[in-house]
Amino acid sequence: MKFFIALSRLAFAAVLFSAFLAHAEVNELRVGVRSTLESKSMKKPTEQELQEAKAHQSVYIIAKVEEMKMPDKVTKLVKPVNEVALVNELRKALKAHGYQEAVVGGPAPEIVLLAYYGRGLLPNAYMGDAAQTAASGGNGGGGEGVDTYVPSWSQLMNQRTPGYEEKLQRANYEKLVVIIAAVKYPSKKGERPQRLWKTIMSVDDPDHRDLNNVLAEMLAAGAGYFGRPNDGPEAEVWKPLPEGHVIIGETKVLEDSKTPAKK
């Protein structure tokens, strides 16, 4: 009996948490942030190691700003992105977190930044360690394969925590995406590029949201994770929505069109 009461309380808490998220998104922008380090070591770096790495990765140049190419995708962004504005917002976010842009006569660059933007589907980070299997169609297995996911016990437990299922479902939808990747600045000619880190920022509703209007919020949310991994499947950062503006034009009175007289 106590087990069923506990489950009921957990389900009630999940409903309340989902209602809270729905209310929050009316006034705030939810930015999902996924940040990874390009390291061969499986061990998570300590805070001291992260700070030491950043001390040698703080002077940057921005080498590329590019829309992600998806030849098989017909749907486009609501409006073309102003790449100059994107770079300016990236500079602001970097400066707020102690990064310095390389200039002539100043310190030599240490990292090269690559910026990509667009819309698309991201891998569902909330699937966790669920196992993927393929089921073949037809009696002889000659039909088209269908991918199915078998959740592990830990994944099932995660999905019972308040809000997790809602996040898992949300992650299946298309996003507006900005990716900032860092590469070590080559110390000599011909040196192979060494990837350092990558941070992905995403927001929902690409069919009705102009990426230009949320670039500042997305980059501000993600900049705190540049050069460090996020905890869990995805970090959630809530930012105030940009204020809307109504422009009132000149008032014009339109006369009713006369109805043709009946013959």
Write the pLDDT tens digit of every residue in 64-106. Answer: 999 997 666 667 899 999 999 999 999 999 999 999 999 999 9
Question: Tokens at residue 113, please?
Answer: 């930044």
What spatial distance separates the first Cα and last Cα of the chain, rounded to whole Å? 82
Could you tell me the CATH number of the domain that includes residue 191? 3.30.160
Tally the residues of the chain: 263
Residue 150 falls inside a structural domain: no
Assess whether pLDDT exceeds 50 at residue 135: no
Specify if 205 maps to a domain.
Answer: yes
Residue 153, domain member (yes or no):
no
- Locate 227 and state its tokens: 């050069």
Domain membership of residue 92 as a residue range:
2-121+173-240
Asked if the structure places residue 224 within a domain, the reply is yes
151 assigned to some structural domain? no
Q: pLDDT tens digits for 208-248?
A: 999 999 999 999 999 999 999 999 899 999 988 776 555 55
User: Cα separation of 107 and 98, whole Å?
Assistant: 14
* HEC secondary structure over 175-242: EEEEEEEEEECCCCCCCCCCEEEEEEEEECCCCCCCHHHHHHHHHHHHHCCCCCCCCCCCEEEEEECC
Per-residue pLDDT at 18 exceeds 80: no
pTM of the model: 0.74
Q: Which of residues 254 and 174 earns the better pLDDT score?
A: 174
Residue 109 inside a domain? The answer is yes
Say if 164 falls within a structural domain. no
Beta bridge partners of 59: 100
| Domain presence at residue 158 | no
Q: Please count the structural domains in the chain.
A: 1
